[in-house]
Structure 1
Amino acid sequence: MASHGVKSSQIRIEITESALLSNTEAVIKEHISRFHEDGYQVWLDDFGSGFSSLNNLQNFDFDLLKIDMAFLRHANEKTPTILMDVIDMAKRLGIETLSEGVETKDEYDFLHSIGCVLAQGFYFSQPLPKDKITAKRKERGLEFESLAEHAFYKKIGQINVLNALYPFSGKNDQDLAETVPVMLLLDKGGDLEPIYSNKAAQNWCQSLRLRGAGFEFDCRREFLTLVKQLGETADGEIIEENFRIKDYAGRLRLQLVAEMPGQRAYVINTNMV
């Protein structure tokens, strides 16, 4: 690989759950350990399709879980809760998640909303020979990530949007995280771009468009300007600042979660007082 300029950190080793059933635990652990020592990531494929999924997370050190979306297409009312808990659990364990077999925009949007930022499937493209990939990319408006962009967005993807208060409190409280406005914002030098916002944040931002007798005032720009100014001083530590905008007063907490030349990403939450 070195002769072709390929680093071990760019290679992914995938192990299916069925392979774990047909080999002894000691053998699998030894090979995973050796792969890690040599700089490879090891992914667990078809997570959830076997009979010992939770045991596998407990017994083996995987870097990423590949979740088969056939699970979503056989869905019932329990499915969203199960998927959300799988994503939440994986992130608390420091494991990334990827959904394979994504076929529709609705599936992709749901997965994005619960923090599964990596996806593959026919929604993007069927498997193609190399000479047809360029045309498909142009057709779908898809771009390759640079190594710097990959590292940047990987850090963003590690934020647990189902439990986004964790960076600020060190505690996992899913119920509280649903009621406190939490947002992930991207700063490319211009206006801030939302990457993610929970329902409480969406409702709160909507409430900042104040209306009254003979006037209408949109406070969101003023608030985002404050966030941008505060973010420019962020260095990875949590920053807290009181604010007052029209009739709204509260406390803003912000943390820089990733940066690369020309781009910075922040996670923020607000409490009204």
Structure 2
Amino acid sequence: MFSEHLRQELEIRSYVISHIDEAVENGYIEIYYQPVVRTLTGKLAGMEALARWRDPVYGFLRPDQFIPVLEEERLIDKLDRYVIRECGRQLRRQIDAHRPIVPISFNVSRMDFQLMDVLSEIEAVVRENELPRDYLRIEITETAMVQDSDKILKMIDRFRGNGYSVWLDDFGSGYSSLNVLKDYHFDELKIDMEFLRAFNDTSRKIITSVVMMAKAIGIHTLAEGVETREQVRFLRSIGCEKIQGYHYGRPMPYDELLVHCQERHLRAETREEARIYEKAGLFNVIMASPVALFLDDGRNLYMAYENDAYRKVMKGVGISGRRAVNWIIHSLDDARKERLRAYADRVTRNRPCKVSETFLLDGRRLRVRAKTLAGLPGFHIHMAEIVDLTRDADSL
């Protein structure tokens, strides 16, 4: 049945097709950015660029009112070329303003591979703005793999061969997820949080399995669509490396994002920190043994993560959690601080081997076995396993 709503949709469709060039030329297409946060540190690890159309005639057009139309009419490359150019310019503005550089990811449509040489477009933007390639991340949706799979496979290899990070977007939204992981080489997996719409035991197990699988095959993980503190705590506990969603911020213009991050105390991680976090991020924290991750700046140690088993051991010696551990480390007397510092330095020197040490804490003997997961001079991430020797002796 024809209706007024249908008439309006057809009218907008026709308008989008005939005005996309004008919208791009006159700046009606605005780029919004959504923050991506690293779970280990709570720092800003990146942002995703998303197109919004603010039209003088129709006002604010929703993405689902123009993106599918442009794809169906084989005009999507006009939009995506513009988004890529604007991402490059935004990065250049960050550099020129001497701000911390926040990498930008952007989505490439399956139609782009037919309508343009995507790599050449990105390379031109990189050259024009004198950008390191690792500041731009390319997102490809899972559904794009259904058609022209051989061509896309070759393009992904070209992207990665030229130094770009390639992400699989909306993982879990299609029907060929495992085949996609088997046949294509991605650097990061964006998990579709539709899994967690019903946040129950089954969905938690599925997400946990996905994260563990990704780590096992060397792929980093990012969960998108995260909205609640409960989801954040769960994703952090299973070692999901990054989070994107309304919990940390909606998509917004760049200047608003700056203010938002300042208000939320979201400090951008440095390029060097990002490289270390990426290396350590593939470590699987879901294990039976008590494991914690410590950040080491060469002077101070800071516990950034502990699994359930580690938390249980700490609770057994009267320490309530990570905050209490860090307070104890900070409050040690000089002699104990020097011993702990010497141990951390020995762990760093002996990487990647584990180094054991026994510490006395409130009358209990704790054996720690640690190794360095990743690091650069002046900053390292250590993994530490802990055993309560006193408890084990008492149980004999």
Q: Taking structure 2 as the reference length, what is the TM-score of the superposition?
A: 0.58
- Which piece of structure 1 moves more, 242-251 or 43-52? 242-251
* Structure 2 equivalent of residue 185 of structure 1: 294
The answer as to 2:217 corresponding to 1:106 is: no
Task: Work out the CA distance in 2 between the residues paired with 1:83 and 1:225.
Answer: 41
Q: Is the 8 A contact 1:240 1:251 kept in 2?
A: no
* Structure 1 equivalent of residue 137 of structure 2: 12
* Structure 2 equivalent of residue 131 of structure 1: 255
* Structure 2 equivalent of residue 231 of structure 1: 344
Choose the corresponding residue for 1:48, options 163, 172, 177.
Answer: 172
Q: CA RMSD in A?
A: 2.3
User: 4+ residue stretches of structure 1 with deviation over 6 A?
Assistant: 222-225
Choose the corresponding residue for 1:36, options 160, 181, 190.
Answer: 160
- Cα 1:227–1:86 change in 2 (3 A) is farther
Task: Work out the CA distance in 2 between the residues paired with 1:209 and 1:3.
Answer: 58
User: Deviations 1:132-177 (Å, cap 9, x if unpaired)?
Assistant: 1221112111112221121122223222111xxxxxxxxxxxxxx2
* Structure 1 equivalent of residue 215 of structure 2: 91
Task: Work out the CA distance in 1 between the residues paired with 2:198 and 2:181.
Answer: 24
Q: Is the 8 A contact 1:242 1:249 kept in 2?
A: no
- Which piece of structure 1 moves more, 110-119 or 72-81? 72-81
What SS does the aligned partner of 1:122 have? coil
Q: Is the 8 A contact 2:299 2:341 kept in 1?
A: no
Task: Work out the CA distance in 1 between the residues paired with 2:308 and 2:382.
Answer: 18
Task: Work out the CA distance in 2 between the residues paired with 1:193 and 1:138.
Answer: 23
What SS does the aligned partner of 1:85 have? helix
Instruction: Measure how far apart 1:93 and its partner are.
Output: 0.3
The within-5 A match list for 1:1-273 is 1-23=126-148, 25-162=149-286, 177-178=287-288, 180-189=289-298, 191-209=300-318, 227-233=340-346, 234-235=348-349, 236-243=351-358, 245=360, 248-249=364-365, 251-260=367-376, 262-273=378-389
User: Deviations 1:60-89 (Å, cap 9, x if unpaired)?
Assistant: 111111011122113332111111110000
- Cα 1:256–1:14 change in 2 (3 A) is same
Task: Work out the CA distance in 1 between the residues paired with 2:248 and 2:217.
Answer: 29
What SS does the aligned partner of 1:84 have? helix
- Cα 1:245–1:124 change in 2 (3 A) is same
List alignment gaps of at least 5 residues for structure 1: 163-176, 211-219
Task: Work out the CA distance in 1 between the residues paired with 2:359 and 2:264.
Answer: 43
One-letter identity of the residue aligned with 1:62: F
One-letter identity of the residue aligned with 1:49: S
One-letter identity of the residue aligned with 2:368: L
- Which piece of structure 1 moves more, 37-46 or 227-236? 227-236
Q: How many residues align?
A: 248
Q: Taking structure 1 as the reference length, what is the TM-score of the superposition?
A: 0.82
- Cα 1:5–1:146 change in 2 (3 A) is farther
- Cα 1:244–1:15 change in 2 (3 A) is closer
Percent identity over the alignment is: 35
- Cα 1:191–1:204 change in 2 (3 A) is farther
Task: Work out the CA distance in 1 between the residues paired with 2:339 and 2:312.
Answer: 19
Instruction: Measure how far apart 1:112 and its partner are.
Output: 0.7
One-letter identity of the residue aligned with 1:14: E
- Cα 1:209–1:191 change in 2 (3 A) is farther
Instruction: Measure how far apart 1:250 and its partner are.
Output: 5.5
Instruction: Measure how far apart 1:96 and its partner are.
Output: 0.3
Identify, as 1 or 2, the structure richer in helix: 2
Task: Work out the CA distance in 2 between the residues paired with 1:242 and 1:130.
Answer: 48
User: Deviations 1:71-121 (Å, cap 9, x if unpaired)?
Assistant: 211333211111111000000100001011111221111111110121111
What SS does the aligned partner of 2:257 have? helix
Task: Work out the CA distance in 1 between the residues paired with 2:214 and 2:271.
Answer: 24
What SS does the aligned partner of 1:74 have? coil
Which structure: larger Rg? 2
